[in-house]
Structure formats: C-alpha cells, structure tokens
C-alpha cells in the first residue's frame, strides 16, 4: 500500500507497512499557535504531511500562545519547515496545498 493524500478529507490514508528493523522512529516537533481558534486544524494538516513522508515518525505537538502566529516543524535542532500558520488554513486552499507539498518534501530530505 502507498500513501495517498486526500485534500478534500484533509487527511492521509492507506498507511504503508512499517519496517521494524529500521531502528528508532525520529521525533518531529510541530510548534503552532492556539490563538484565535485553537490551531488544531493546522496542526493536523502539518502532522499528516510529515507522516506522509516519514510514516514511523513520532509527532509531538507544542502549542503556544505567542505571536506571530507561526508553524515550525523541527527534528532535534534542525528546522524542517517554518511559515505563517495562515499558510495551512483550509480556507486558503492554494497556499495550503503548496505548504503540504513543501512539508512532505522537506521531511523526506531531512529524515529520508
């Protein structure tokens, strides 16, 4: 099975089988703002994009109340992707899809 992004449903389906001999799973931290509406939609979008590239990754949420409203995806001390949280809003479909593609590609490069 392969990953398939379904933008209409806002999620990733058909999880591939995991390789248990590949060692420990990388930990990815997604820092996002809970200001305005809680940020859950943007976190879920970023998490699904990370998992599309690294299905065994351990994704950790770091919810803040800080301004500016920003999403940062890190593995250890390395920043994988960082942009305005508005880039992941469902009401902005073109920037959201572009960001999903960027996150997936950047995660593959960083953790690949």
0.85 exceeded by the pTM? no
| Of residues 13 and 101, more confidently modeled | 101
What are the tens digits of pLDDT across the range 45-103? Answer: 999 999 999 999 999 999 999 888 999 999 999 999 999 999 999 999 999 999 999 99
In this prediction, residue 37 has a pLDDT band, given cuts at 50, 70 and 90, of confident
The pLDDT of residue 22 is 59
Residue 50, CB-side half-sphere exposure with 13 Å CA sphere: 29
Cα 75 to the center of its chain, rounded Å: 12
Domain boundaries, the chain: 24-111
Q: Please give the CATH superfamily to which domain 24-111 belongs.
A: Glutaredoxin (3.40.30.10)
Cβ partners under 8 Å of residue 94, min gap 6: none
**64-84: string of b/e by CB count within 10 Å (b at 16+)?**
eeeeebbbbbbbeeeebbebe
The predicted structure's pLDDT at residue 1: 38
CB 75 within 8 A of CB 24: no
Residue 2 reports pLDDT greater than 90: no
pLDDT tier for residue 3 given thresholds of 50, 70 and 90: low
Q: What is the pLDDT at residue 57? A: 96
Q: How far apart are CA 32 and CA 17, in angstroms?
A: 29
**To which residue do tokens 């820092």 refer?**
31
């Amino acid at each position: 099975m392969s990953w398939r992004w379904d933008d209409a449903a806002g999620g990733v389906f058909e999880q591939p089988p995991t390789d248990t001999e590949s060692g420990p799973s990388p930990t990815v931290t997604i820092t996002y703002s809970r200001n305005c509406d809680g940020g859950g939609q943007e976190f879920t979008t970023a998490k699904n994009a990370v998992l599309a590239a690294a299905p065994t990754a351990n994704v950790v949420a770091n919810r803040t109340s800080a301004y500016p409203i920003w999403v940062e995806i890190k593995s250890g001390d390395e920043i994988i992707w960082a942009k305005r949280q508005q880039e992941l809003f469902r009401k902005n479909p073109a920037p959201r899809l572009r960001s999903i593609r960027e996150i997936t590609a950047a995660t593959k490069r960083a953790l690949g």
